[in-house]
Amino acid sequence: MIKEIKTNPQVNGTVYVPGSKSVTHRLLFISALALGTSTIRDVLYSEDTIYTMEALKKLGVEMWEEDGELNIKGTNGRVNPPQEKTEIYVGNSGTTARFLCSFAALSKKEVLITGDERIKERPMEELLKALMEGAVDVKFLEKEWHLPVIIKGPMVGGLFLFPKAPSSQFISSLLIVGPCLKYGMELVIKEPPYSKPYIRLTLEMMRRYGINYGATEDLRLFRIPPQPYRAKDITVEGDASSAAYFWAAAAVTAGRMTVVNVYPNSKQADIGFLNILEKMGCRWERDAVGLTLRGSRDLVGVNVDMNDMPDQVPTLAVVALFAKGKTVIRNISHLRGKETDRIQALINEISKIGGKIKEIENGILIEGTGGEGLHGAEIETYNDHRIAMSFAVAGLRIEGIKIKGAECVKKSFPDFWEVWEKTCYAKA
């Protein structure tokens, strides 16, 4: 599907974004391990989270919808698939794949995890090595240290060591199952982990389900004694990652955008995008309706470390085109292992519309011109939802932006285009 973006000189609006993908994934796995039945409201039903739901069902977890809420009957940490060997397809959902590896390691039965061609290229080695050191049987079916794999437990716990962790999902994957292990878990990471807010989000969700743990401030040492998750009634907060595109729309058009269901004290990493936009010249505030960002006609470039917010690198790169001066985005080498190689994708597509961008050591540099010299083009998304939604922002200021493969937004925000058109094309 090709989606042509309409320009709008000033975007003003209010939007309710879907539930957080990151929170939904975590609550699904934690609820599946809990003692008792959990009820989750405002669950995100997207391509990735549905892969997680279907995977858990195949592994014997009962879940059902009632009155718009999702109920999950927990296993009390005892994963027992109905079949001796279960095959699970995860598409290109990195979170599903990585969380599932540790979850499957709680079972005595074989679980085959596979997915599309891109997920078979994405990093898995450090996580799979940690599982194997924990006495889990891991068999590679194609390429060593990559999906597809067969996993067979049970994992009993003890010491787990990561020399490095290219993805915070590796750490979260192990943390989630830690309380269910016979001997608990001590997890040590030698190098500072990437995307620390996502690890903190995992710990916060565990805490809400009654888990006590120890963690150092730098998130390189964790101790989790064996204990049960306690089932919970819980609401998924709005997705800060999804909200960022609407705030960016206001930023580049000097407009105003209010997101009603995302909160400034959120543990989600991407809530920090508001602070970056503020450094570029925008203003934001919490008001009676929600979180409101007011854009500026005089955006300026910034120099930022985006290690903790990898999903917003494409959004920031697009906003930087409409700022004046250089924007340096640092510490993002791990973006090469996302849904696509996001660094190369940004270089390709920003260059295509006349933007000035180049790769630097562990980052990218964008020469902002205030939007001058940019022109329309057909944007290749590489089946990456973040690329699609980011370039929708560019299309508000640039005539002739067309997004190829626009349906890829279903990965995290199935109704994105409908909400975008309703919110960003409305005239003040």
- The one-letter code for the residue type at 346 is L
311 is catalytic: yes
pLDDT for the residue numbered 311: 94
Instruction: Name the pLDDT band for 142 (thresholds 50, 70, 90).
Output: very high
Q: Examine the pLDDT at 263 and tell me if it is beyond 80.
A: yes
Query: What are the chain's domains?
Result: 3-18+238-424 (3.65.10.10), 21-223 (3.65.10.10)
pLDDT for the residue numbered 74: 99
Instruction: Name the pLDDT band for 115 (thresholds 50, 70, 90).
Output: very high
Contact 268, 201 (CB under 8 A): yes
pLDDT for the residue numbered 334: 80
Instruction: Determine which of 185-194, 252-261, 319-328 has the lowest per-residue pLDDT on average.
Output: 185-194
Contact 155, 180 (CB under 8 A): no
The first and second tokens of residue 215, run together, are 């963690």
pLDDT for the residue numbered 2: 97
Q: Examine the pLDDT at 337 and tell me if it is beyond 70.
A: no
Q: Give 352-369 pLDDT, tens digit per residue.
A: 999 999 999 999 999 999
Instruction: Name the pLDDT band for 336 (thresholds 50, 70, 90).
Output: confident
Mean pLDDT to the nearest integer, 184-194: 93
Instruction: Name the pLDDT band for 194 (thresholds 50, 70, 90).
Output: confident
Pick the catalytic residue from 42, 48, 239, 311. Answer: 311
The first and second tokens of residue 141, run together, are 């079916």
Average pLDDT, the chain: 96
Say if pTM beats, i.e. exceeds, 0.85.
yes
pLDDT for the residue numbered 427: 66
Q: Examine the pLDDT at 244 and tell me if it is beyond 70.
A: yes
Q: Give 11-43 pLDDT, tens digit per residue.
A: 999 999 999 999 999 999 999 999 999 999 999
pLDDT for the residue numbered 3: 98
Mean pLDDT to the nearest integer, 107-121: 97
Q: What percent of the chain has pLDDT over 70?
A: 99
